[in-house]
Structure 1
Amino acid sequence: MDQAENPNKEGIVLQNSRADYVASAAKSALGMVPFAGSLLAEIAGNVIPNQRIDRIVKYAEALESRLSKIERDVVKQNMSDENFTDLVEESLRQAARSLTDERRGYISSLVSNSISSDDIEHYESKHLLRILGELNDIEIIWLRFYLNPVMSGDTEFREKHAHILNPVAAHLGSAQPELDKSTLQNSYKEHLASLGLLEKDIDMDTSSRGVKLKTKGYKITSLGRLLLREVGFSNEILG
């Protein structure tokens, strides 16, 4: 069948050529990163056609920094584990969508910890990575806040992210912008709780009328602490 008989042929050829070009460009760019880049290059062509190559390169550089602390033979040995290559593929997809260096740092930390930690299996790291993929950067800041939520704790962190963490106490007479901000703050915490990263902090109020359960707010769960540790907050004071 010639081109006249198949009018879609030219479009298919161009689409395939473009995909090949993007894959080639990805491999070439990743090749500039000595070790981590070469590990990611073979996977990248299948995972990130039509995605932002520069984000992947920045991710490779972040991962290179993390992997430099691990024996290269150990890293290469892990590359033969399908659970680890699945983890790396997912990390590439998330890195291609990442907008900040902080996010790429979280992803690279989780992948490198999957190799260096004896406590977490690769498939468990992939589960944590999927949870991370469901969080936006503001929700990660809120989760990190609950590591040390006391009023006098974590002053430097709170000042740095004051525009996010300053509480908005909306009431019936509040203007719409305040109501909106309060609603969004509550939504972030509710989403973290729905993923099992936060839980309601319940206080028992005892009186002559009996025991009442009173919600004081939220507190971080073991899963929340684990996720933060795996994405690079292991040296933070836990409060």
Structure 2
Amino acid sequence: MSTNDNLPTPIQANAVDYVTAGAKAILSAIPFAGSLLAEIAGSIIPRQRVDRIADFASKLEQRIEHLEKGSVTAALNDEEFTDLSEEALRQASRATTSERREYLATLLATSLSSDAISYAETKHLMRLLGELSDVEVIWLRFYAVPTTGRDQEFRELHKNVLHPKSAHLGSSEDEVDAEAIQKSYRDHLIRLGLVSAEIAKDRDGAPEFDRFSGNFKVKCHQASRLGLLLLKQIGLAPQGRR
């Protein structure tokens, strides 16, 4: 718990004021994106997270500096864009990794392109992203190219995460737990509609039934259209996939 949580209410309010002023000063020092976010940031930045917001603003600056300034500034008059920006700032203030802030900056910047999906749709994707851990984002990207022997560079880069955890008769409790956690990543992605299962079929084209699990046999898992869209909007779409 933060030390400030035990302070009297007036002192807490002053602490927030100091952090807010510091946040605005830092954001304003970033020429374009910083000034756009400074006013919004003033009311929602939690204490001790100003550095994350500054990093997010810097990443956003790099992604929108090529856009026409007037059109970007005009977006602030759109309540849906302001709402989307607030959500991005909230998530960025909680993001403990640079990669996560990169995803958020790309997602917000992409919403400003001429062929972008609506702000409301982008916010839906942002909320989905907010429900995923960084490890689950890696698994979603893996399921975008599930074929063995492909996407080797990505798999090698994240081999520690993607190495299959398989428990068997005689496995230790730690091995069983590791398999359960890894399976939970896939199950969570399925529940969110980001990954789908391709059902195995027999020679007649009928779905095959697994009498041990009581469910249909699954041939493979792959990223759904929604999953591919999220990857595209955060800049993680596999080359050649749209």
**2:77: which partner in 1?**
80
CA distance in 1, matches of 2:163, 2:114: 35
**1:115: which partner in 2?**
112
CA distance in 2, matches of 1:67, 1:222: 26
Q: Is the 8 A contact 1:148 1:238 kept in 2?
A: no
Q: Is the 8 A contact 1:200 1:216 kept in 2?
A: yes
Whether 1:21 and 2:24 are equivalent positions in the alignment is no
**1:4: which partner in 2?**
none
Q: Is the 8 A contact 1:147 1:237 kept in 2?
A: no
Whether 1:151 and 2:148 are equivalent positions in the alignment is yes
- Alignment map for 1:127-166 (pairs within 5 Å): 127-166=124-163
- The root-mean-square deviation of aligned C-alpha atoms, in Å, is 1.7
Q: Is the 8 A contact 1:148 1:237 kept in 2?
A: no
Letter in 2 for 1:130: R
Letter in 1 for 2:73: K
Q: Is the 8 A contact 2:144 2:238 kept in 1?
A: no
Cα displacement (A) at 1:218: 1.2
| 1:122/1:181 CA distance change after superposition, 3 Å | same
Cα displacement (A) at 1:118: 2.2
Cα displacement (A) at 1:74: 1.2
CA distance in 1, matches of 2:30, 2:238: 27
Identity %: 47
**2:226: which partner in 1?**
223
- Number of residue pairs aligned between Structure 1 and Structure 2: 228
**2:8: which partner in 1?**
11
CA distance in 1, matches of 2:91, 2:34: 16
**1:57: which partner in 2?**
54
Q: Is the 8 A contact 2:111 2:122 kept in 1?
A: yes
Return the TM-score normalized by structure 1.
0.90
CA distance in 1, matches of 2:116, 2:90: 25
Q: Is the 8 A contact 2:145 2:238 kept in 1?
A: no
CA distance in 1, matches of 2:193, 2:207: 27
Gaps of 5+ in 2: 1-6, 209-215
CA distance in 1, matches of 2:165, 2:119: 40
- Worse-matched range after superposition: 43-52 or 103-112: 43-52
CA distance in 2, matches of 1:160, 1:211: 36
Return the TM-score normalized by structure 2.
0.89
3-state secondary structure, aligned to 1:96:
helix
CA distance in 2, matches of 1:197, 1:187: 14
Return the match for 1:94 from 91, 94, 98: 91
Flag the structure with larger Rg: 1
3-state secondary structure, aligned to 2:43:
helix
Letter in 1 for 2:11: L
- Worse-matched range after superposition: 89-98 or 64-73: 64-73
| 1:190/1:96 CA distance change after superposition, 3 Å | same
Letter in 1 for 2:23: A
Q: Is the 8 A contact 2:207 2:217 kept in 1?
A: no
**1:70: which partner in 2?**
67
**1:42: which partner in 2?**
39
CA distance in 1, matches of 2:237, 2:156: 20
Cα displacement (A) at 1:13: 2.2
CA distance in 1, matches of 2:114, 2:224: 21
Return the match for 1:106 from 103, 106, 121: 103
Q: Is the 8 A contact 1:36 1:64 kept in 2?
A: yes
Letter in 2 for 1:192: L
Cα displacement (A) at 1:178: 1.4
Letter in 2 for 1:181: A
4+ residue segments displaced more than 6 Å:
none
